[in-house]
Amino acid sequence: MLKRSIHILLLLTVAFSMLGAGSPDTRFRELGGKMMCTCGCAQMLLECNHVGCPDSPHLIAELHQQIAAGMTNAGILTWFADKYGPTVLAAPLRDNLFDRTTWYIPGAVLLLGILGVILLVRYWKSRQPAPIAPLPHTPSNDALRDRIRNETEY
């Protein structure tokens, strides 16, 4: 009986979590969160709070039109990228190797730079300083030291 109750509870949890998963409003929010506003505010399309934004109302209207036309999510993102360029996407599409490379290379270069600095600092710390050769003890050095000591005393 307990096992059956757990199965029913699990089934209901999955069913309730799927409610609204395919609705246009859910798709609109999901796709709007994957796109950037093109006005230069550097915000997500649905979060653009640029007063008098010239671009976001048009982009949002086009997004509604594409969803109403029945396009898939990937198709809509590709359509926007083709029309406005790849900068409209918040993340690169997974099917284009060049786009993925241009998104991930800066992070990889940063990590390699940090690794290089760490290795350089370790190398510098591991080097032993060259021993300082002591000055030979000669009477001329003693005379010079005495003269310096006399001149610097008050």
Q: What is the arithmetic mean of pLDDT over 25-45?
A: 88
Q: What is the arithmetic mean of pLDDT over 6-27?
A: 66
Q: What percent of the chain has pLDDT over 90?
A: 27
d(CA 32, CA 20): 16
Q: What is the pTM of this model?
A: 0.53
**On the CB side of 127, how many CA atoms lie within 13 Å of its CA?**
8
CATH code of the domain made up of 24-91: 1.10.8.640
- Left, alpha or beta for 52 (phi > 0: left; psi -120 to 50: alpha)? left
Does residue 41 surpass a pLDDT of 60? yes
d(CA 123, CA 125): 5
Q: How many CB atoms lie within 10 A of CB 27?
A: 19
Does residue 4 surpass a pLDDT of 80? no
